[in-house]
Structure 1
Amino acid sequence: MKTIIRDATLDDLSFLVGQFDEGVSGGHFAGQPGVPTARIWHEWLRKRLMVRKCFRPDGSFIVEQVRIATSIAEVDGKPVGLLLSSPETPADTSAIEIYMLSVLKSVRRQGVASALIRVEEHRHVAGTTFYARCYPKSTWAIGFLQKHGYRVERISPDSGMHYLRKP
């Protein structure tokens, strides 16, 4: 099975919406209540930006825009996987978050997610730190990332969220 990794386009909207909605319903991603998934993805793809809330240790938060990159894994001309990443902070690309990783069930365990991670890691300069946050239900993602050199840095006592980092 030959996997091609490319940048996502608006032509991928249906696939992205389906994968995102499946992840939300399975407890692996958090949706945005009241906002249609197609609208979210359309905006993300068009602007290559997302708005996110960043919490500070004191409990306060800021809202910031951050650049995003969305990659599609394709097999036989059809999208089968996605990876969405963003810098940890808008001004600093020395730390990249693997924000979302999803692969069609029919092609899991065939190297698609590994190809997405490998391409993402190689598009950044040496010394870049990568991190991911995984909901407790995403045990497969936690194990997968650990096999790729990520380590669990901490687990939130409140939410059970796993914070992984590489190196």
Structure 2
Amino acid sequence: MRILLFLTLPLYALDQVTKYLVLRFIDPYQPPEVIVRDFFSLVNVTNSGAAFGTFANNNAFFIALSFVALVTVIFVLLRRGPSDIWRRCALGLLLAGILGNLTDRLVHGHVIDFLFFNLHVRFADPFPAFNVADSCICIAVFCFIIHSFCEERGRAATVTNAISRDESNLRDGR
């Protein structure tokens, strides 16, 4: 449960504090607060949907989906299984992200996004605003991908070792 104490709770707190500051100091009706010209700004944007504003105005659905995801992640965290750092970090990050956006939906009726990047690429010009919780979820997905590659490589090595051992036993007549 150290993952909760040292990863999930601090990131959840960071998400909520940054959103509080955005609500307090950034007017949603004013131009973005430019931090790095032509690249990064702070905004106050509401999102009643999912990623990139898809499925807007479905707050009740996303609250229910978040609760299901929350219960699933907690169940997986509590279940005894292989203890892999990538898996634990991914679950901790995912939990922080789910809690952050779920809190917004319950308290405000929508998610508050404020990190706004202009990446100057055609397919993402500009990139939709997002928040710390969204970042946690994306990094969690990346950690799960790394975990699956490490797990697959470990399985492949185990199979290779077993085949080598069997071939060696056959040669030795065992």
Shorter chain as denominator, the TM-score bin is under 0.3
- Pick the structure with greater CA Rg: 2
Alignment TM-score, normalising by the size of structure 2: 0.27
Greater RCO between the two (CA within 8 Å, min separation 6)?
2
Alignment TM-score, normalising by the size of structure 1: 0.28
Q: Which has the higher strand share?
A: 1
